[in-house]
Each structure stands twice: as structure tokens, then as C-alpha cells.
Chains A and B, each alone.
Chain A
């Protein structure tokens, strides 16, 4: 005999249900979008917040970790936008940029866009109802069954839709800044899309910017989706600086990427200084002969929790996938890496390699590593590996005998460990920014300062 188990709604789930009921009439979109939202909320509602018995969320038990849902953010007012403008000027924020404040696209703060790039807010796209864009935005098959992606579809408030015309080549990074502007703790639901036309080439750099006009950082719950579509022969180099959120924050980022034929996609993310973050990347090779490289470094301390969950589907022939992620875990931090490579029948000559390496600096830190391969084609080269351990005591001793104090020897080894992937970003300015962040994190571990070695 089996009985359907109906779990009691948690306070967070009840708040989310109330938020949806209370705001659905005001959320942007035409009738079809409203229907899609209703359907999506039903999917979320059926399973609720994911928990440890949901396999994909086993190591990030959101139901237990997220006791309450924060109130849904309102669009930033004129004062908040003005404060952000001053803040960007002071921080020397890059010019070629798009700004989302609490998930809302702020055209007044955005600009400097090169020719060939068309940008609109998600809200306007949903209201216009252009069928091809709606179809792209609502195609969640890559993340089918993920209740948080469904929740995002139900509650998405705004975001930015970026269309890059075929053949457009832009060298300078296009910066997408996720700013936290609200003076009260709030929840943000944003959905953005990047459509790179055939033969176009672009670099998208995502940044977190947490500062409101009071200069304080409020805890937030962000659920952001980025939908990427790469046309045939297109190139996208993507970086994400996932840093700066306040403790007790929950940050969910989902990327759903479709890769056309002969295309190239590189993505790197640095995760550091956050409460709880889960990055999900669902990628599908839909055309032959493409390459994708997904990589990231997570630097965690305190009770931070960072989860990277990947699903790479090879649905075409001769595609190369490289997934390489590194974690440095200190104090009581928890790291999660789940990576699945799926090779569909007929996806011959697939070349897939996945690797996760973790360094644990404390007995209280924990790393959960789950690589998976699902292969339904017979002529492929796929592999995965995972390592987990402390720093090498022989290496530390060697460096110490040469005069480096232990903290400096550790920092040198950790910097080398993290920098390997940063070097692959392929853009001097961005490499400088990411390396600087790693150095800052390492020097904050101890009270000593790491000498600047950039001159050597």
C-alpha cells in the first residue's frame, strides 16, 4: 500500500503562495504569459521548496535552509536610482553596461551599448508578446522539473532581453550589473535572455553590486534565470562575479543555454562572500561541432554554502565540453558540486571532460561531490574526476624552508590553485579583477597582507 505524502507547507512556502496570489494581477505579460505563470506556480506548488529527498537538491536542502520568504521587491524609486548612480560613479563602474536593480531593469543607469545590440526590459517583451521571444523565454525543458525555475517563471518581475544581431563582433565586455538597491530585505525574481545571432561574438560580464543609498547591504533572496541562445558559429565569453551579498542571503542563479552548430561558449564564475548560493547551469549542444567550457572558483568561509549544479547534454555530434570547478573551503563552509554529462543516442564523437577539485582548510568544512556520466552513444570520449583534500604538506614545508611564513606559503599555493582557471578568461582587465578578488579573499583569511607579486 502506498499513500501520497502531502507535506505541510512551510512558512516560506505559504509566503510565496500569498505573494503569487497577491501580485499575479500586476505582474507583467499578456494573457498567454499569465497562463504560463499560473501553470508554473502549479508546478512549484506541487513539490514546494526542494529538499534533501529531491535528488538534484540533496545537498542543498532549501526547505530547511530557507525558513522564511522575504517580501517581493518593488521597483527601485527615483531616490534609489540616484543613489546607485552616485555609487557607480564613485566605484568607477564600467561604461558599457546594463543594470538590474533588485531584478528590475534600469535604463537610466544603463548605456554605452555598441551597434548591433538591442536591449529591452523583460516586462516590455512579455507585454508585447512577440511569439519567438516568448517561446524562448518560456522553454524550460532544459530545467524540466526544477521547482525553483518554475517559481521564477511564476513570479518573474523583470529582467533584460539582449539581442545580438548576426555577425556583430564586440570586443569590449558588455557588463550586466545585478545591484541590490532596496533598503529593506527583499526577494527578487528576474529572468533575462541573451540571444547571440549566427556568427556574432560577444563577451558578457555579470557583476554583483550590493549597496543601497544607506550604504548598507541587506540580506536578499534572489532567484535569477539567464537564458542563453547561441546561433551557429556564434561566440560567447561569459564571466560572473558572484560576490558581495550579505550573510543570510539566498541566491539562486540558473543558466539555460542552447548552443548551435560550430559555436563556442566559455563561462567562468567566482563565488565568494555570500550566504547561500546555488548556480545551476543547464546546457545543451543542439548543433554539431561546438565547444563549451564551464568553469568556476568558489572561495568560502564562515557558514557559507555554495552549490554548483551542472547538466551538460550532448544532443549533437562532435561537440567538446570541458567543466572544471575548484573550491577552497575554510571554517564551517559547505561546497557542493554536481555535474552530469549526458550523451544522447547518436551524439557520436562527443568529447566531454569534467573535473572538480576541492581544498579543505578546516576540519569543519565539507565538500559534496557528485559527478555523473550518462552515455547512450558508443563512439565518445568522456571522463570525470573529483579530488578533495588539504594543502600538500610537502609543498608547504618546501616553501617554509625557503623562508616563507606558513600563512604566506598557504596563500601562494591557494592563489596558484585558484588562478589556473582565472588565466583562462582570456581578457586582461577581467583577469585582473578576478585575481584581485582572490588575493583580497586570501589576505582576509589572516591578518597579514599578501605582498603584490604582479611585478615579479
Chain B
């Protein structure tokens, strides 16, 4: 379960998140929607542990434990996963090398044994096949020269391998064509489980046709301004965000 309590966040004195409260229970898929600049990506980065932000007050709890003073890698080992809006290219690091290093780093931190290479390869092959990720892609440098869709599928592959207890998908649908969207959505749906929560950040209802949310939250000017069921996404698609007093500039 993810709990964000009374969170206030600023950058250089400019407030980005304003008394934000949000709870996503185990097994729940919560959609977070809102106009550009409302603070959705900021929230995802603050939860994942990005250091450029100042957390003034409030707390973020994952399964009852505060994340705020933990390094990003410790948060990951505790079960948090962030699928990036723009997955980062890492030249010179083979995708397989990276996947193995990440998986084993988390296992080590949890006091588990490192995976043997055959075990690791078996897991990768199973998950990669479902996401239509080729062996060639796995041999290439991580995300380098990948298309937008390939990068997003690679992030979902990482999520499948790392088996987080809570996953944030930050505009995973942006830059995807219909087929890629379906593959990614199927990958997400396959990971839906009673013990795993999701926060799905998106601008559009389209992704939510495939990954059907339990709840929808609307964010504007750094706070949650409305919450409802999946029908709220349909309403937003029809009426837009003009009711929510959109203000540009905040990334």
C-alpha cells in the first residue's frame, strides 16, 4: 500500500506539490490524470527518491514504512518501481548485463541469493517473449537506439523481472502506437495481483481502456482535486481539464 500524506514539495522555493494526499491500496490500480504541469511527474519522481526536490512537510509510506530518507535503490529493494516517461539510454551497458546487475542488487539487499545465470536467463526469456522483446534487443546497449515503443516495453520487462509490490507508470502510454499500447497494457495487466498496487499516470483515457483502473484521481496545481471511479476518466476525456484551472509552467 502506498500512502502519501500532506506532502509539500518545492524546487528553488517554487511549490510543486501542495498538501497532497493520496492512498493506493494493495491490489488497486489508481489512475492519476491531470493537465500538463499539474505535478504528476514530480510526484512520481519524489516517490522514487529523486534528490532535486525539497520535501518540506509530509510523508510517503510504502507498506507502512516511510520512504523519505531512503536512497532510490533502497526504495526499489523495498518493492517500489517507477516506469519512466522517458526511459534513459545507457550507452555501453548491455541490456542483459544491466538486468542481471539490477535483479541481483535487489536480491542482495533483501538478503536473497544471487540468481544463477541459467535461472536468470530463463526468467528473462519468459518475460521478454510475452513483451515481444527480441534477443537482439537484449544484447544491445540499454535503450540505445530503441524506438519509443521498445523503450516502454523494456521498462515493463524490468518491472516483470523485479516484481515490485508497488509500481508507478509515468505516462507509459505516451509515444506508443496502438499495437505497442496493447502489448504494454497486457504486460501491466499480467502483473496485476492482490498484493501489488499501481499508480498509472496518464493524460488520456485510451490506456485506461486497456488497463482498467479501480479509482481515478485528478490532479491540478499540485494537489488531488477530485477522485472517483473509472467513469471519471470518460468524463475528463469529454470535457477536458478546463474545469480544473490549469496553470502551465510546472514540469
The answer to whether the Cβ of B9 comes within 8 Å of any Cβ in the partner chain is: no
Inter-subunit contact A412/B98 (CB<8 Å) = yes
Residues of B close to A397: CB separation below 8 A: 48-50, 72, 88
Among A183-191, A211-219, A414-422, the one that faces the other chain is: A414-422
Which A56-112 residues have a C-beta within 8 angstroms of B? none
Q: Is the CB of B101 within 8 A of A401?
A: no
- Decide yes or no whether A22 CB sits under 8 A from chain B: no
Q: Which of A36-44, A346-354, A403-411 contacts B (4 or more CB under 8 A)?
A: A403-411
A399 to B71, CA, bound (A): 12
B160 within 8 A of A: no
List residues 330-355 of chain A with CB under 8 A from any CB of chain B: none
A451 within 8 A of B: yes
A422 → chain B closest CB, angstroms: 11
What separation, in Å, do the CA atoms of A399 and B76 have in the docked complex? Answer: 10
Extra A-B contacts (12), CB below 8 Å, given A398-B87, A399-B90, A451-B101? A400-B49, A401-B49, A401-B81, A402-B98, A402-B102, A402-B162, A404-B102, A405-B105, A413-B92, A416-B90, A416-B93, A453-B101
| Residue with the greatest number of chain A CB neighbours at <10 A, chosen from B71, B73, B77, B162 | B73
Within 8 A of A (CB), among B41-59: 48-50
**Shortest Cβ distance from residue A259 to the other chain B in the assembled complex, whole angstroms:** 30
**Contact between chains at A400 and B73 (CB < 8 Å):** yes
Asked if B92 and A419 make an inter-chain contact with CB atoms under 8 angstroms apart, the answer reads yes
Contact B92–A456 (Cβ < 8 Å)? no
Judged by a CB distance under 8 angstroms, whether A131 is at the interface is no
Tell me which residues across on chain B come within 8 A of A404, comparing CB atoms. Answer: 73, 101-102, 105
CB distance from A327 to the nearest CB of B (A): 16
Q: Which of A392, A399, A401, A416 is within 8 Å of B82, CB to CB? A: A401
Do B49 and A453 have beta carbons less than 8 Å apart? no
Q: Is the interface of A mostly helix, strand, loop or mixed?
A: helix
Interchain Cβ contacts under 8 Å between A and B, 29 examples: A395-B90, A397-B49, A397-B50, A397-B88, A400-B71, A400-B72, A400-B76, A401-B48, A401-B49, A401-B72, A401-B73, A401-B80, A401-B81, A402-B105, A403-B76, A403-B109, A404-B101, A404-B105, A405-B73, A408-B101, A413-B92, A413-B93, A416-B93, A417-B92, A451-B101, A451-B104, A453-B101, A456-B94, A456-B100
Selected from A395, A412, A415, A456, the residue in CB contact (under 8 A) with B88 is: A395
- Expressed in whole angstroms, the minimum distance between the Cβ of A392 and any Cβ of chain B is 8
Q: Assess whether A2 is interfacial by the CB under 8 Å rule.
A: no
The CA-CA distance from A418 to B9 in the complex, in Å, is 38
Measured in the bound complex, the distance between the Cα atoms of B82 and A399 in whole Å is 11
B155 vs chain A, min Cβ distance (A): 10
CB distance from B44 to the nearest CB of A (A): 10
CA distance A425 to B110 in the complex (A): 39
A residues within 8 A CB of B109? Answer: 403
Is residue A394 contacting chain B, with contact meaning CB distance below 8 A?
Answer: yes
> Using a Cβ–Cβ cut-off of 8 Å, how many residues does chain A contribute to the interface with B?
26
Q: Shortest beta-carbon distance, A130 to chain B, in Å?
A: 48
Given contacts A397-B50, A398-B84, A453-B97, contact A403 B102 (CB under 8 A): yes
Closest 10 CB pairs of A and B: A416-B92, A400-B72, A403-B106, A398-B88, A402-B102, A403-B76, A456-B97, A403-B105, A456-B100, A400-B73
* A373 shortest CB reach to chain B, Å: 26
State A395–B88 Cα separation when bound (angstroms). Answer: 6
* A455: Cβ under 8 A from any B Cβ: yes
- Given A397-B50, A455-B117, A456-B97: A406 and B73 within 8 A (CB)? yes
The smallest C-beta distance from B102 to any residue of chain A, in angstroms, reads 4
Closest chain-B Cβ to A322's Cβ sits at a distance in Å of 18
- Closest approach, in angstroms, between the C-beta of B134 and any C-beta of chain A? 17
Q: Chain B: residues with CB nearer than 8 A to chain A?
A: 48-50, 71-73, 75-77, 80-82, 84, 87-88, 90-94, 96-98, 100-106, 109, 114, 117, 120, 141, 158, 162
Whole-angstrom CA separation of A402 from B75 in the bound complex: 9
Query: What residue in chain A is nearest B97 (Cβ atoms)?
Result: A456
**Given the complex, which residues of A lie within 8 Å of B158, measured CB to CB?**
402
User: Which residue of chain A has its CB nearest to the CB of B107?
Assistant: A403
Residues of A within 8 A of B88 (CB): 392, 394-395, 397-398
In Å, the complex CA distance between A404 and B162 comes to 12
Take A401-B48, A402-B162, A416-B90 as given contacts and tell me if A453 and B100 are in contact as well, using a CB distance cutoff of 8 Å.
yes
With both chains docked as a complex, state the minimum distance between the C-beta of B95 and any C-beta of chain A, in angstroms. Answer: 10
Partner of A413, one of B48, B90, B97, B103: B90
Q: Do A398 and B71 touch across chains, with their CB atoms under 8 A apart? A: no
The chain A residue with its CB closest to the CB of B100 is A456
CA gap between A402 and B79 in the complex, in Å: 10
Q: In the complex, what residue of chain B is closest to A411 when comparing beta carbons?
A: B101
> Within the complex, what minimum Cβ distance (angstroms) separates A452 from chain B?
11
Instruction: Kindly state the separation between the CA atoms of A443 and B91 in the bound complex, as whole angstroms.
Output: 20
Q: Mark A418-447, 1 if CB is under 8 A from B, else 0.
A: 011000000000000000000000000000
Question: In the complex, A456→B96 CA distance in Å?
Answer: 6
Closest A residue by C-beta to B89: A395
Inter-chain contact A406/B71, CB cutoff 8 Å:
yes
Most chain B CB atoms below 10 A, which of A413, A415, A416, A456:
A456
Which B residue's beta carbon lies closest to that of A418?
B92
